[in-house]
Chains A and B, each alone.
Chain A
């Protein structure tokens, strides 16, 4: 698979390393060169410095050959815009993006994008743990 990742933060860097290990062809874009320190040593993929909302930068990163597009910068709106460029300009079917704000996540999910919302996911997981420990406490009392 040819995978293009926009945003080389903790998630982007980790994901790039893992996907390369499983034999994928990975390109990663970030606007800040210091972010690439999060990539594993001797990262074999393509590394492109630039903003993920610029079509030319995305072309340099090989978006025209990509099967999967992932947008995981720190900024919701940047992710939203670059994901829509990937889908609407370059016609990529598999577009996955992170949106922290749950209201925005709902809107863009409705527009057909694959949205991961860490806010609701993490809140849900913590809630589950809280409920589990309260039931356990109730049982033992």
Chain B
């Protein structure tokens, strides 16, 4: 697999290093000639000085045969254009953009970027998961399908307590995939009865989250 990285900041540097160690064919494009010189002493000739948004630079880096282009510069507008140029001009199958302003994640996906990574959002969701007693936590967003995996604790006053799942009217497009009960994991069937304190792992459409929270009494 051939991977082109654009942007040799800290993220780009460690990504290059890690991907090389894992045996991938990697090529890094960085604007700053001093950084390029330092890196090429460390990594060998897998670095090129240039502007990754320029077609000529991407062509010289072999974008036409790249499987993945990853843009990790500090500027969102540059990351967007790098990925779009890779897609439109060189038909790269998979583009990954680092998003500095978390608000841009959705925009980038709408504009055709395959994967977006927002450090702010990643750290935020890790913090959320570590806060005890939070009744509703996003474990993962599957943004392309507008789906999310959530962990939700059934409240004491929820109408679904002591009822088997088959008799509960969950909102449409919500599935209970697992139940955490007193440290144990239950893969539920229709007959599984919901108990007080259960934590449900659900796959849900984004727009159904509110209805699900209402049902669980959150």
- The residues of A with any CB-CB pair to B shorter than 8 Å are 53-55, 75-78, 80-82, 84-85, 88-89, 101, 103-104, 107, 110-111
Contacts and interface: CB of A to CB of B under 8 A. Distances in A.
Interface stretch (B20-28, B51-59, B206-214): B51-59
Interface string B35-65: 0000000000000000001111000000000
A89 B107 contact: yes
Contacts of B88: 107, 110-111
Contacts of B77: 53, 75, 77-78, 80-82
A84 B76 CA distance: 13
A76 to B, nearest CB: 7
B76 A81 contact: yes
B84 interface: yes
Interface of B: 53-56, 75-78, 80-81, 84-85, 88-89, 101, 103, 107, 110-111
Given A77-B77, A107-B84, A107-B85, 7 more contacts: A54-B103, A77-B80, A77-B81, A80-B81, A84-B111, A101-B55, A107-B89
Given A84-B111, A101-B54, A54 B89 contact: no
Contacts, number: 54
Contacts of B85: 103-104, 107
A77 B81 CA distance: 6
Contacts of A76: 53, 81
The 5 closest A-B pairs by CB, nearest first: A103-B55, A77-B77, A81-B77, A77-B81, A78-B77
Contacts of B110: 88-89
Contact of A103 (B76, B80, B89): B89
Nearest to A99: B81
5 contacts: A76-B53, A101-B55, A103-B55, A104-B54, A110-B88
